[in-house]
Amino acid sequence: MKATKIFTAAVTAMLMASSAQAAEIPRESAPLNATEEQIVIAEKLICDILDEVAIGNMGYTEAAGMANTRVRKAVIAGETNGYGYGILSPIAQNAILDIRDMYLRPEAYAQAEEYLKVLLADLITAVQNGMDYMTALEQAYRKIYYELNPSVDLEGQLSVDSCYRNMPSVERAIFNRTRYLLLKAND
């Protein structure tokens, strides 16, 4: 009986240690208003879900549903350090969506990253030399839009409500890798 308890405790400890090395939320996936503490809280709640998504064992819908349930239960139980569903859920959803998309289309993300290293080289260097990340991100987005369509009226489009904007479509991987490269340069 005592050996069984010791064995159970050892297995539980090993499982807990292995979950500490679980997948992290990509910082480029988090909403711009999310703090590091909020990201870490969401990460702790859904790290095993992210692992399953990253290896292709779980699709977006199933993972998103499980994550929403966990976040909601943790908020109700008061286990989120005062942060609410309104910020923790988008952090989780964005991470799941990006990790799933990266799993399904790794070549699109690799191509986007190589393309952006050239297009945004000046901004990446500027961030490494101390330029504000948010300023660089805004300039990068503008550069991307003008690269896609040089005649786009970006200022006019940005001045209207987002539901009325008529802007060129941009591949999800482009914006993800833009944030990734600028965050990496900011470290």
One domain for residues 86 and 126: no
Residue 119, in any domain of the structure: yes
Nearest Cα to 98, choosing from 150, 167, 173?
173
Q: What is the mean pLDDT of residues 114-135?
A: 97
Residue 76 predicted with pLDDT over 50: yes
One domain for residues 125 and 57: no
Residue 16 predicted with pLDDT over 50: no
Q: Which of 15-24, 29-38, 174-183 has the lowest mean pLDDT?
A: 15-24
One domain for residues 44 and 81: yes
pLDDT tens digits, one per residue of 35-62 = 999 999 999 999 999 999 999 999 999 9
Residue 120, in any domain of the structure: yes
Residue 12 predicted with pLDDT over 50: no
Residue ending a domain, choose from 82, 104, 126: 104
Residue 179, in any domain of the structure: yes
Q: What is the 3-state secondary structure (H, E, C) of the chain?
A: CHHHHHHHHHHHHHHHHHHCCCCCCCHHHCCCCCCHHHHHHHHHHHHHHHHHHHCCCCCHHHHHHHHHHHHHHHHHCCCCCCCCHHHHHHHHHHHHHHHHHHHHCHHHHHHHHHHHHHHCHHHHHHHHCCCCHHHHHHHHHHHHHHHHCCCCCHHHHHCCCHHHCCCCCCCHHHHHHHHHHHHHHHC
One domain for residues 83 and 111: no
Q: What is the C-alpha to C-alpha distance for residues 28 and 112, in angstroms, rounded to an integer? A: 14
**Mean pLDDT for all residues in the chain:** 89
Residue 2 predicted with pLDDT over 60: no
One domain for residues 128 and 168: yes
Range of the domain at 53: 22-104
Residue 84, amino acid: G
Name the pTM for this structure. 0.80
78: left (phi over 0), alpha (psi -120 to 50) or beta: left
One domain for residues 116 and 87: no
